[in-house]
């Protein structure tokens, strides 16, 4: 049983999917770091090896024991849900960050490249996500809606400043990007997907009101 946190080292667990986010329970700062590290490592492992990635290996790579993993995530499905929700939060937050840092078309292109990583994680979690959907019918629609909104804001901004074609609809762009999800899972899948994003962006820029160049 973990020791009670001190007032100086504890921080409240605000993630609704956090096992510690109950009745004002708090996580110590070191416990929070362990949890965040487990989520980060698990996201990479699931993207690389699928949902059957070894939990023992995830714990080892995160620098903790398997008991620590199970204290934070009692089941594999719980870890999957937290990882997926965190990935959705990250890809949505990236839209705002990129929009503040780059011209509208560059922000859109970089976000779509980031979307490839999101899709890689989602593909790795596909089996468990289907199980989660059977117990929570709104789970996927809620997360998908947030991603759609993030893309729509980027597309609308690029259309408004004339850096992509004026007849572009964000739902069409999302449909094109979603095709990446069902492409064959080969070793060069990620590289091919990034090239497809670049080709898609070339098409969005073609015939735009103003000439732009892709930025890094």
List the Cα angle 40/43/49 in 5-degree steps.
135
pLDDT at 178: 85
pTM score, whole prediction: 0.75
In this prediction, residue 190 has a pLDDT band, given cuts at 50, 70 and 90, of confident
Confidence (pLDDT) at 136: 65
Residue whose pair of structure tokens reads 């109950």 in the numeric block: 22
Rounded to whole angstroms, the Cα distance separating 150 from 155 reads 9
Collapsing DSSP states into helix, strand and coil, what is residue 198? helix
Helix (H, G, I), strand (E, B) or coil at 210: coil
Which CATH number is 76-205 given?
Answer: 1.10.357.10
Domain residue ranges in the chain:
10-72, 76-205
Bridge partners of residue 28, in order along the sequence: 10
pLDDT at 89 over 50: yes
Q: Look at the domain 10-72 and name its fold.
A: Tetracycline Repressor; domain 2 (1.10.357)
pLDDT by residue (tens digit) across 59-82? 999 999 999 999 999 988 889 889
Token digits of residue 79 = 């870890």
Mean confidence (pLDDT) of the chain: 82
């Amino acid at each position: 049983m973990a020791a009670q946190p001190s007032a100086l080292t504890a921080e409240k667990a605000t993630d609704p999917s956090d096992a510690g986010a109950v009745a004002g329970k708090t996580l110590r700062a070191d416990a929070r770091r362990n949890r965040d590290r487990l989520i980060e490592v698990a996201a990479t492992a699931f993207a690389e090896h699928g949902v059957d990635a070894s939990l023992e290996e995830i714990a080892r790579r995160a620098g903790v024991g398997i008991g620590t993993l199970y204290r934070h995530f009692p089941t594999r499905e719980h870890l999957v849900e937290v990882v997926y929700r965190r990935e959705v939060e990250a890809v949505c937050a990236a839209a705002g960050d990129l929009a503040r840092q780059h011209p509208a078309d560059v922000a859109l292109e970089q976000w779509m490249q980031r979307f490839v990583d999101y899709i890689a994680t989602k593909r790795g979690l596909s089996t468990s996500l289907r199980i989660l959907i059977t117990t929570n019918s709104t789970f996927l629609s809620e997360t998908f809606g947030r991603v759609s909104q993030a893309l729509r804001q980027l597309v609308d901004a690029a259309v408004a400043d004339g850096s992509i074609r004026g007849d572009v609809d964000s739902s069409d762009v999302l449909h094109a990007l979603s095709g990446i999800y069902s492409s064959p899972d080969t070793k060069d899948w990620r590289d091919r997907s990034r090239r497809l994003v670049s080709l898609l962006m070339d098409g969005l820029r073609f015939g735009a009101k103003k000439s732009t160049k892709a930025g890094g």
